[in-house]
């Protein structure tokens, strides 16, 4: 009778309630100061990411050390999906060659989540400078070795490598001025404190339209849809020149597969949302969602590609 009673009551037992995958706010650590293209990309995506993951998404800007500080914070966080790295090309692809003995290596210490966006950069100069083309800039650099300066968003940033590659391929020498982000860089470029820069199109185009800056070329292999009449560096007289810029998302190594899958799905949905596509385009950002595996392979290939550029151009961590 006791056994029979137990069996009758069994179906009425309350099943275990599945615990939510994310139980507190999700922090995305950003390796540059607030206000630049990196922020624009993530802030565009955070509302949809938050909706999909069921938690607020908080942005934590931690500039310093060419992104090493931000990478360290995330790499040493619990691998549960609540702390993520917004990986720039500098942090994910350049630093492994630029700096020895990284405490947080993009392949060894991170689990890839997704490539997020490709970034359009432009070579720009103040309109009061005498050079109006890449050929004239190269001539000015050759006429005054070590006298002209270019700025970038920091050591190892895409703009740093772009300037170094120009020096290498054109046989010129310029002074690199690293900033902690794109905001002050553009301010100093407009005021003429530096002579040129490879900066994000979103920060350059408004000042080109106002007449304060002049766009000279795009550093990528193909022309930009934003400014289709602007030549590539190769077309402008620097054969073999090609460099790109992108942002992606990574989690600490050991983050469970289901958590990575949930984050990747949220990224894809956020990147494919029509309103977000339009907002990203306004910031000269092109959605580039990928699987975690594709992003992982991409990072490995980019490390190798930038290693060749760094070694050929003789770039150091300064």
% the chain with pLDDT above 70: 94
2 has a pLDDT exceeding 50: no
- Mean pLDDT, rounded, of the chain: 91
Q: What is the pLDDT of residue 3?
A: 45
Q: How confident is the model at residue 41 (pLDDT cuts 50, 70, 90)?
A: confident
33 has a pLDDT exceeding 90: no
Measure the CA–CA gap between 70 and 64, rounded to whole angstroms: 8
Q: Is 254 helix (H, G, I), strand (E, B) or coil?
A: coil
Q: What is the pLDDT of residue 38?
A: 82
Q: What is the pLDDT of residue 4?
A: 47
11 has a pLDDT exceeding 60: no
Q: How confident is the model at residue 1 (pLDDT cuts 50, 70, 90)?
A: very low
pLDDT average, residue stretch 248-257 = 98
Q: What is the pLDDT of residues 118-140, one digit of tens each?
A: 998 999 999 999 999 999 999 99
Q: What is the pLDDT of residues 265-294, one digit of tens each?
A: 999 999 999 999 999 998 889 999 999 999
68 has a pLDDT exceeding 60: yes
Measure the CA–CA gap between 221 and 93, rounded to whole angstroms: 18
65 has a pLDDT exceeding 90: no
Q: Give the domains, in start order, of the chain with CATH numbers.
A: 26-118+245-313 (3.40.190.150), 121-217 (3.40.190.10)
pLDDT average, residue stretch 192-217 = 95
Measure the CA–CA gap between 104 and 91, rounded to whole angstroms: 10
CB atoms near residue 268 (< 10 Å): 16
Q: How confident is the model at residue 306 (pLDDT cuts 50, 70, 90)?
A: very high
CB atoms near residue 275 (< 10 Å): 10
Measure the CA–CA gap between 182 and 25, rounded to whole angstroms: 27
pLDDT average, residue stretch 12-17 = 45
173 has a pLDDT exceeding 50: yes
Q: How confident is the model at residue 16 (pLDDT cuts 50, 70, 90)?
A: very low
pLDDT average, residue stretch 67-94 = 96
Q: What is the pLDDT of residue 147?
A: 97
Q: What is the pLDDT of residue 283?
A: 87
% the chain with pLDDT above 90: 76
Residue 115: C-alpha distances to residues 7, 40, 201 (Å): 53, 16, 19
Q: What is the pLDDT of residue 51?
A: 97
314 has a pLDDT exceeding 90: no
210 has a pLDDT exceeding 90: yes
Q: How confident is the model at residue 19 (pLDDT cuts 50, 70, 90)?
A: low
Helices 201-209 and 182-191: angle between axes, nearest 10 degrees: 30
Measure the CA–CA gap between 245 and 203, rounded to whole angstroms: 14
Measure the CA–CA gap between 211 and 190, rounded to whole angstroms: 10
Q: What is the pLDDT of residue 318?
A: 62
Q: What is the pLDDT of residues 149-170, one digit of tens each?
A: 999 988 888 899 999 999 999 9
């Amino acid at each position: 009778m006791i056994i029979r009673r137990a069996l009758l009551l069994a179906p009425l037992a309350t099943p275990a309630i599945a615990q939510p995958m994310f139980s507190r706010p999700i922090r995305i650590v950003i390796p540059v100061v607030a206000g630049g293209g990196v922020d624009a990309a993530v802030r565009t995506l955070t509302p949809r990411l938050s909706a999909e993951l069921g938690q607020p998404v908080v942005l934590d800007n931690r500039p310093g050390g060419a992104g090493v500080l931000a990478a360290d914070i995330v790499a040493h966080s619990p691998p549960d999906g609540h702390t993520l790295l917004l990986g720039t090309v500098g942090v994910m692809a350049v630093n492994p060659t630029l700096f020895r003995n990284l405490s947080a290596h993009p392949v060894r210490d991170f689990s890839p989540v997704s490539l997020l966006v490709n970034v359009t950069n432009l070579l720009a100069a103040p309109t009061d400078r005498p050079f109006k083309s890449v050929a004239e800039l190269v001539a000015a650099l050759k006429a005054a070795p070590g006298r002209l300066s270019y700025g970038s968003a920091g050591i190892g940033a895409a703009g740093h490598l772009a300037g170094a590659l120009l020096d290498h391929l054109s046989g010129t020498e310029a002074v690199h001025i690293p900033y902690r982000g794109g905001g002050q860089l553009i301010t100093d470029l407009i005021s003429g404190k530096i002579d040129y820069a490879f900066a994000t199109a979103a920060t350059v185009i408004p000042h080109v339209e106002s007449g304060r800056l002049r766009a000279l070329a795009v550093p990528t292999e193909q022309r930009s849809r934003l400014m289709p009449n602007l030549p590539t560096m190769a077309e402008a007289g620097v054969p073999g020149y090609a460099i790109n810029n992108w942002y992606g998302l990574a989690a600490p190594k050991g983050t469970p597969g289901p958590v990575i899958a949930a984050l990747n799905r949220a990224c894809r949905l956020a990147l494919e949302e029509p309103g977000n596509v339009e907002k990203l385009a306004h910031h000269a950002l092109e959605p580039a969602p990928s699987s975690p595996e594709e992003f992982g392979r991409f990072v490995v290939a980019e490390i190798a590609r930038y290693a060749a550029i760094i070694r050929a151009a003789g770039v150091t961590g300064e």
